[in-house]
Amino acid sequence: MSEPESRVVAIIPARYHSNRFEGKPIMPICGKPMIRHVVERAWRVPMLSRVVVATDDERIASVVSDFGGEVVMTRADHASGTDRLAEAAELLDIAENDVVVNIQGDQPLFPAEVVEQVATPLLRDPALPMATLIYKIVRPEEIADPNHVKTVFDCYGNALYFSRSPIPFQRNPEEDVQPTYYKHLGFYAYRKGFLLTFVGLPEGEWERFEKLEQLRALEYGHTIRVVLTEHDSIEVDTPRDIERVEAVLAAAGA
């Protein structure tokens, strides 16, 4: 008997409290709360069978319910969005082999194509536990910026390392050929069974220093497939970023 076809479910972790921007999921962008922009973009992705916001805050849950979105309430003591994602996946009774896509709640302009790009490798290869997106850096100032995480990968497209430092390091900068730098975009796809395994692993040494969760998977020997995308995405980290997003939407006539 063949395995049932895997479904793809999007879960959007959203928390109210943030050191840099309190309450940002419900901040208005062109008259709509930011979380609504994210959910409505996810609704446009044909492969998604379900789109759910995972939060511990009644204010966010109320906003999502008011515009017809699905929401699941999670614990308030999670150390990371991935822990919240895993709890939500269990509460939603998602099948072990289904694919869970983590869509960041602070990316209201993400192109719908990126969800299919990050999920497709897991649909094609049932043994693959996890995938994420990378983007070729075109702005030189991002190379040394620790807020833009860089990655290197093998010839099969599997991640070797992620770092806030520029990697690779160019020992002879006078050479004519310059290395290509790739930055990590915060979209992940997990096999549901592996997602629960991942959050049960102890913190890794590399993760502790770099403050990058994905390094835990690599340190414990798990594969992360990286998918090169042509789409960058603006993250909303500060109130100034909302102005940038509104300018993009206005230019697009949205």
The 10s digit of each residue's pLDDT in 12-52 is 998 887 766 777 888 888 889 989 999 999 999 999 999 99
Q: Is 234 left (phi over 0), alpha (psi -120 to 50) or beta?
A: beta
pLDDT (0 to 100) of residue 73? 94
The answer to the question of residue 188 being in a domain is yes
Pairing of strands 8-14, 99-102: parallel
Q: Is residue 3 part of a domain?
A: no
In a domain, 1, yes or no: no
Report pLDDT for 68: 96
Q: Is 2's pLDDT higher than 60?
A: no
Residue 87: inside a domain: yes
Query: Which CATH number belongs to the domain containing residue 124 in this structure?
Result: 3.90.550.10
pLDDT at 27: 87
Residue 66 in any domain: the answer is: yes
Q: What is the pLDDT of residue 136?
A: 95
Range of the domain at 194: 8-251
**Does position 75 have pLDDT exceeding 60, yes or no?**
yes
Stretch 161-168: mean pLDDT, rounded? Answer: 96
Share of the chain above pLDDT 70, in %: 96
Local structure of 193: helix, strand or coil: helix
Across the chain, mean pLDDT equals 90
Q: Which helix (H) or strand (E) holds 85?
A: helix 81-91
How many domains, in total, are found in the chain?
A: 1
Angstrom distance (rounded) from CA 219 to CA 204: 6
Instruction: List phi, psi (to 5°) of 177.
Output: -90, 125
Q: Is residue 206 part of a domain?
A: yes
In a domain, 75, yes or no: yes
pLDDT digits (tens, 9 = 90+) for 185-243: 989 999 999 999 999 999 999 999 999 999 999 999 999 999 999 987 777 777 778 88
> Residue 2: inside a domain, yes or no?
no
pLDDT of residue 242: 82
Please report, rounded to a whole number, the percentage of residues in the chain having pLDDT higher than 90.
66
Q: 84 with 25: CB under 8 angstroms?
A: no
